[in-house]
Amino acid sequence: MECPQEKRYTYEDTKKTADWLLSHTKHRPKVAIICGSGLGGLADLLKDQVVFDYTKIPNFSHSTVPGHAGKLVFGNLSGMSTVVMQGRFHMYEGYPLWKVTFPVRVFSLLGVETLIVTNAAGGLNPDYKVGDIMLIRDHINMPGFAGVNPLSGPNDDRFGARFPAMSDAYDPDLRKLARTVAKEMGCAGCLREGVYCALGGPNYETIAECRFLQRLGADAVGMSTAPEVLVARHCGMRTFGFSLITNKSVLDYESKEKANHAEVLEASRQSARTLEKLVSLMVQRIEHNNNLA
């Protein structure tokens, strides 16, 4: 549980970080991408890169999880000015959610209009296979059920309204675009669409918990993403996301299978190229549509 006495970053603190970044790069990103475990290779696709280590950015936290490089990369992706987080922050690392989501507020002040989130997730849906890409239709934010929410505390109207709607959290037009691009790529067969459930971690789920989440309607489970989407929507950004199914959740008490992070990283490496191409082509279409507007 977050400590209410802890001083949070203010709008002015956030603007200081955004202004520092703007003063150190000529890029003015319209799209931000947050990369999950083993998916940081998306940043390698950017042209004219300007790279910042998280440790050098004012007010930024440090990434401590294997598979998260801890770098913020600016550049051009398919003609669109883009910023990519190679690794995110998590509540299980000991960070309060206002720190976990601080980069999203910074992106808002940089002028970002669209946030793309990716993650590695366990498949709860029995039809899902390792290597499938799940287009996130909606999420279940389990920590939020206990009042652990990045929007809790004083609200600053300069970021957004006190009570943001979340019924359209994952942009339907962008989901439609993703399905179209996947079909053109010939990978529609591995593209799923479902509900992502966010837990606090860092332990993987018990069998009883997996069965419970299935009954709630979750198709995949992980330890991230929902807090960043909440803050992005609060700031008025369009958001959508992908889950790379890197392991099958254990649902049978007779099973000898056990989830582990090494398995997650290996599955990410095997399927990441498809996801990277899909995201790159989507950004290209977003840029094209913006030019036509």
DSSP 197: E
- How many Å is the maximal CA-CA distance in the chain? 57
Catalytic residues: 37, 68, 90, 92-93, 120, 223-224, 247, 261
What is the rounded CA–CA span in Å between residue 114 and residue 286? Answer: 9
User: Which residue type sits at 131?
Assistant: G
Can you state the angle between helices 261-292 and 172-185, rounded to 10 degrees?
100
Residues in the chain: 293
Beta strands in the chain (DSSP E): 31-35, 47-53, 71-77, 80-86, 114-123, 133-141, 191-198, 220-222, 238-248
Q: Residue written as tokens 């709607």?
A: 165
